[in-house]
Amino acid sequence: MTKTQALELLLDKIKAGRALGMAGGVLQWDAQTTGVPEKSLGARGEAMGWLEGEMFRRLMSPDTLDAVEVLEAVCGELSVVERAMVREVGRRYRKLKAVPQDEYEKYSEMITQSMMVWETAREKRDYDMMLPYYEKIFEYQRRLCDWYGYENHPYDALLDDFDKGSTVALLDGFFSALREKVVPLFLEIVKQGKQPTEITGLFDIEKQRALMPWLAKFTGYDLSRGKVGEVEHPFCMSLSHNDVRITTKYHEDSLLSALYSTIHECGHAIYQQNMGEELYNHNLADGASCAMHESQSRLYENMICRSRAFAGQLLPKLREQFDYFNNWDEEMLYRAVNITRPSLIRIEADELTYSLHVMVRYELEKALISGDIKVKDLPDLWSDKYEEFIGIRPNDLADGVLQDCHWGYGLVGYFPSYAVGTAFGAQLLNSVKKVVDVDAAIKNDDLSPVTGWLKENVHKYGEVLLPDELLKQATGEVFNPNYYADYLREKFTDLYLK
Amino acid sequence: MTKTQALELLLDKIKAGRALGMAGGVLQWDAQTTGVPEKSLGARGEAMGWLEGEMFRRLMSPDTLDAVEVLEAVCGELSVVERAMVREVGRRYRKLKAVPQDEYEKYSEMITQSMMVWETAREKRDYDMMLPYYEKIFEYQRRLCDWYGYENHPYDALLDDFDKGSTVALLDGFFSALREKVVPLFLEIVKQGKQPTEITGLFDIEKQRALMPWLAKFTGYDLSRGKVGEVEHPFCMSLSHNDVRITTKYHEDSLLSALYSTIHECGHAIYQQNMGEELYNHNLADGASCAMHESQSRLYENMICRSRAFAGQLLPKLREQFDYFNNWDEEMLYRAVNITRPSLIRIEADELTYSLHVMVRYELEKALISGDIKVKDLPDLWSDKYEEFIGIRPNDLADGVLQDCHWGYGLVGYFPSYAVGTAFGAQLLNSVKKVVDVDAAIKNDDLSPVTGWLKENVHKYGEVLLPDELLKQATGEVFNPNYYADYLREKFTDLYLK
């Protein structure tokens, strides 16, 4: 195979993958946002399974590896984008190839079961029901570490799967910084016992909806290359560089829920929209890592849109829709969107405690993979960690160890991305602030200097750069968790302890 | 290849085709019904092209023919459904194979152009603009007849492509019956010059929409296995046996337009919903022919829902929404939904003249294929035919020869299906009436005896039976155009000449 043939072969496979991926995506979009006949599930599931299987078969056919090896041998002659494409295809191929086919199939079948059992187990608060599944899942994940290979800690192999280059050594450092700087701060806030006025009552959904075009425009999410749907569990879906969609779920009794989850999804969508067509054509149109993707959504959601400056922009928009805010001022609103308190549910957690919820999961996963703890002891260990970091114990398994779908879905090593991503965001924002007056941009209702910097330094690279390369190039230093810990300390000391 | 292997191979290809087809379908649905970003066209077009190409490549790979030949040799051992599957796969393979690949590709490229030029030509009323395309298209279609092969008239080869078994001999007989029985009747009605009260004015679209659930329920379109979207040009789309969708377009200034086009699409959808999963799994879930599909939509639209009995059911429903009908009675409504008059546009034509519009196109296509007329003379010939059959000449090319997209899209031989289908419908209804009191069913608001008969005798066979087999089995005789001609004569004589 010549270099040209090898490139053509990979680009052809990627073109097929793009079509199959768009097809699977739009089938999911259609099912989740437009309401489809309940009975249509069977045939649609079969079609989606076939499409996914076909992507897998095309990636895993032996000519893929041949082409990768041909191109690796001449990598000096390739463009930066081609080199990244070869690296990523090779990486996926070798990871998947490392897993024995029959083991993978048995595991997948078990996971299909486990996903359904988790729903019931959570509903019934029955940990014993889930126990055999968790045992099989963590047993498989431990073997997966060996199949993937690792240098130091076996958990490294799983972490790297979601966040290239992530390791226990790195995360231990990150979470210690949180434990030292954030946990005591939070417990101090709890002890002090004062809370600002909260936003309560019912907020008409039509009026909530009316805020969305402004919100999209403010963040820079381009609706001419996207669209918004409504679903039960919001997500962002990139069908192509010119079709990046987000979804929202409105709650009449929680104004902030849809507002901030929309901003979060806009953050993901802006990242995708700022990758050019070339990246889509080389299958590099994704975040540098899960954590880097999360860095953008959480940067917009929290660091930009839970700022004092943004409260000043948001208040008049809220007043246009809701008389409720007539007697509010900016400071009240700023404090209301930043209320922190002990809580049990990760996905509803506030900005200060969010990463502490993740830390619970990180420590448990790490200890499960190293064999230091047993799956059967998880419920108690979970509660102990919550008490230690967040000062509260769940008395209901559905608010405790059974709350997340991840483990039951076979996702181990994914949780840390949520927290590390937020910390990437803080480090990036620190660099943005050196060249852009972020508060002024917010007050001008024009985030383009911020988004412009992020586009040039983060978004436009997609998966071309590795996350650590990207962070180093964008901020001038490797990952440094202190930006995040210090950002939280400063913000919440000011809010609660002054 | 063993029989078992051959069957597995075809079923595997069909499974892939089902997933690829559903993917293409839902991409189209998403684009047409939900509003997608304008700029997303390019990437979506590429994906849809790939999905369609993949279906083609899988059908046309040589192992398809091998499997078909293996199974044809043992067809006595196959089930009825398997035999039909082999017949249809073989038929499609051989038709496509008969066309030289390079000719097909050149033609396809030209058609892509032609489709766009037709839009402009129609807008500008510029026949000369379209002339070179029509010339190339009919030239290709004449060669296509030779590639496909035929016994008597070359046009037979094209007719058979849309309606298996359809021939010039058969259609000449059909259209003579119309010319003898329907044309003089219609011209007599025109001459007589009286018209009933027409429905005029504006009708709130929200209120029109409110009629739809009743309409779906009345016809028997099962919304628990379907859904309704809104589009510019209504269609029915079958994604699976449990997901058969229809679309509607509401016009404030035309109450009857959405009403009857919805019933029409319900007719198509009921046909698809009444085919079992087995037919979907053998790629036989389609009408016995285009005409047979049209027979069902037009039977519901016209023969059932433009009946006196239906006017009695419709009037109270209209009154619930529109005060306009307070002073109407059933007879007035019956007459208003059956107004016939000379008209120029086929898709807006009334029940009596509809097939006459089709006859114009049939006679012109036949003469073009046989070489009796030239493409350049079409505009005048078109007008002459309209004058002869419908008593009116277009003075605008957009209302004349440039009105339909079909020829510009390369569809030659398709038009007759619309009229023949309606005639199939009349013949089938005649048989239904022998065992079911159709008017009583309508008056009971319960069409199930009618739909039940159609399901058992037409729908459930999908493509298993050939259209002539199906008609013979269902009605006890071969196609007999007199049922249709007599039905029209009786109905419109009663309406206009008594």
What are the tens digits of pLDDT across the range A346-357? Answer: 999 999 999 999
Do residue A16 and residue B242 have CB atoms under 8 angstroms apart? no
- By percentage, how much of chain A surpasses pLDDT 90? 96
Q: Is B12 on the interface with A (CB under 8 A)?
A: no
The Cα of A40 is separated from the nearest Cα of chain B by a number of Å equal to 5
* A192, pLDDT greater than 90: yes
Specify the pLDDT at position A207: 98
Question: Which chain A residues touch B50 with a CB distance below 8 Å?
Answer: 15-16, 18-19
Specify the pLDDT at position A133: 97
Give the chain B residue nearest A24 (alpha carbons).
B23
Specify the pLDDT at position A112: 87
Distance CA B206, CA B153 (A): 51
Do residue B37 and residue A225 have CB atoms under 8 angstroms apart? yes
Please, where are the H alpha helices in A125-166? 127-148, 155-162
Q: Is B51 on the interface with A (CB under 8 A)?
A: yes
Please count the residues of chain B: 498
A449-464 average pLDDT score? 98
A439 close to A181: Cβ distance less than 8 angstroms: no
Distance CA B426, CA B294 (A): 12
Distance CA B274, CA B457 (A): 11
Specify the pLDDT at position B112: 87
Sheet with A228-230: strands ordered across: A228-230, A243-248, A236-240
* Model confidence pLDDT, tens digit, residues A354-400: 999 999 999 999 999 999 999 999 999 999 999 999 999 999 999 99
Consecutive 10-residue averages of pLDDT for chain B (498 residues): 97 97 95 88 92 94 97 97 98 95 91 92 96 97 97 97 96 96 96 96 98 95 95 93 96 96 97 95 97 98 98 98 98 98 95 98 98 97 96 95 95 96 98 98 96 98 97 98 97 96
Active site residue: B265, B301, B363, B463, which one?
Answer: B265
Bridge-based pairing of strands B243-248 and B226-230 is: parallel
Specify the pLDDT at position A464: 98
Quote the tokens at residue B101.
């690949």
Q: Is B13 on the interface with A (CB under 8 A)?
A: no
Question: Which chain B residues touch A35 with a CB distance below 8 Å?
Answer: 227
Specify the pLDDT at position A367: 98
The Cα of B241 is separated from the nearest Cα of chain A by a number of Å equal to 8
B314 close to B331: Cβ distance less than 8 angstroms: no
* Paired residues of B246 in beta bridges: B228, B236
Do residue B44 and residue A227 have CB atoms under 8 angstroms apart? no
Give the chain B residue nearest A23 (alpha carbons).
B23
Question: Which chain A residues touch B225 with a CB distance below 8 Å?
Answer: 37, 39-40
Quote the tokens at residue B360.
């114009």
Distance CA A31, CA A38 (A): 9
Distance CA B457, CA B425 (A): 12
Do residue B39 and residue A15 have CB atoms under 8 angstroms apart? no
Percent of chain B as helix, strand, coil, to the nearest 5: 70, 5, 25
Give the residue from B15, B18, B22 with the most A CB atoms within 10 Å of its CB, the best one to mutate: B22
Run of H or E residues at B12: helix B3-33
Half-sphere exposure of A153 (CA within 13 A, CB side): 22
Option in B36, B224, B277 nearest A227 (CB): B36
A411: left (phi over 0), alpha (psi -120 to 50) or beta: beta
Please, where are the H alpha helices in A125-239? 127-148, 155-162, 168-181, 183-192, 205-210, 212-219
Distance CA A68, CA A39 (A): 43
Do residue A22 and residue B47 have CB atoms under 8 angstroms apart? yes
Distance CA A202, CA A369 (A): 45
Q: Within 10 Å of residue A100's Cβ, how many Cβ atoms?
A: 12
Do residue B30 and residue A35 have CB atoms under 8 angstroms apart? no
Per-residue DSSP letter, B300: I
A177-188 average pLDDT score? 96
* Model confidence pLDDT, tens digit, residues A273-287: 999 899 999 999 999
Do residue A30 and residue B30 have CB atoms under 8 angstroms apart? yes
Quote the tokens at residue A145.
């570490």
Sign of torsion over alpha carbons A264, A269, A272, A275: negative
What's the one-letter identity of residue B58? R
Question: Which chain B residues touch A241 with a CB distance below 8 Å?
Answer: 43
Distance CA A419, CA A286 (A): 19
Specify the pLDDT at position B202: 98
Option in A51, A226, A239 nearest B19 (CB): A51
Distance CA A282, CA A313 (A): 39
Specify the pLDDT at position A276: 87
Model pTM above 0.95 = no
Q: Is B405 on the interface with A (CB under 8 A)?
A: no
What DSSP line would sit under B422-463, residue for residue? HHHHHHHHHHHHHHS-HHHHHHTT--HHHHHHHHHHTGGGTT
Q: Is A43 on the interface with B (CB under 8 A)?
A: yes
Count residue pairs from A and B with Cβ separation < 8 A: 128
Distance CA B343, CA A439 (A): 66
Q: Within 10 Å of residue B164's Cβ, how many Cβ atoms?
A: 20
A473-492 average pLDDT score? 97
* Model confidence pLDDT, tens digit, residues B396-424: 999 999 999 999 999 999 999 999 999 99
Distance CA B386, CA B394 (A): 8
Specify the pLDDT at position B169: 97
Q: Which residue has the tokens 């957009």?
A: B398
What is the per-residue burial (b if ≥16 Cβ within 10 Å, else e) of B124-135? eeebebbeebbe
Distance CA B464, CA B447 (A): 25
Give the chain A residue nearest B224 (alpha carbons).
A37
* B365 assigned to active site: no
Per-residue DSSP letter, B301: I
* A212, pLDDT greater than 90: yes
Whole-complex ipTM: 0.91
Q: What are phi and psi of B238, to 5 degrees?
A: -105, 105
Half-sphere exposure of B54 (CA within 13 A, CB side): 28
Q: What are phi and psi of A236, to 5 degrees?
A: -120, 140
* A271, pLDDT greater than 90: yes
Specify the pLDDT at position B282: 97
